[in-house]
Every structure is written in C-alpha cells, then in structure tokens.
Amino acid sequence: MIGLFKTEVLLCCGPKRNVEHVEFETFDWVDWFNNRSLLEPIGYIPSAEFEVRYYNKLQVPLMLVGPT
C-alpha cells in the first residue's frame, strides 16, 4: 500500500511545496482509493462499498433472535 501511494502521489507529481501540500494530496489519494478505485480482489467495487456490504451482512434481524 505504501509503495502504491509513493508511486501514484509522491513520485509522479514532482516536488512538493511543503508538508501541508503533501497532507492535502494524501487526503485526496486516500479518498480516491477508498471511494472510487475499483479493486479486483473484492469484485471491482470500491473498498468503502465492500465494507458497507460486509457489515450489512453481519447484522442479524431482530425477529430471528430467540429468547435468552
């Protein structure tokens, strides 16, 4: 993951002006990676969408829970 970030953000776009510039580019890249990049291992969907689907599957409907 760090290598991908370095290649796509830090090395490709030339020298950075200051630390704040690097921080903003980092925030943009993380947002893109989590919400818009399509990942093959999880079915060509963004990782944020995969996470929502995963946690929705874990929720047990109340009507299936028996008495304790």
Please report the pLDDT score of residue 52 as a whole number.
Answer: 92
pTM: 0.68
Please report the pLDDT score of residue 61 as a whole number.
Answer: 63
Question: Tens digits of per-residue pLDDT, 10-57?
Answer: 777 777 778 888 888 889 999 999 999 999 999 999 999 999 999 888
Residue 10: Cβ within 10 Å count: 16
Tokens of 56: 């929705």
Find, among 13, 53, 48, 43, the residue nearest to 30 by Cα. Answer: 48
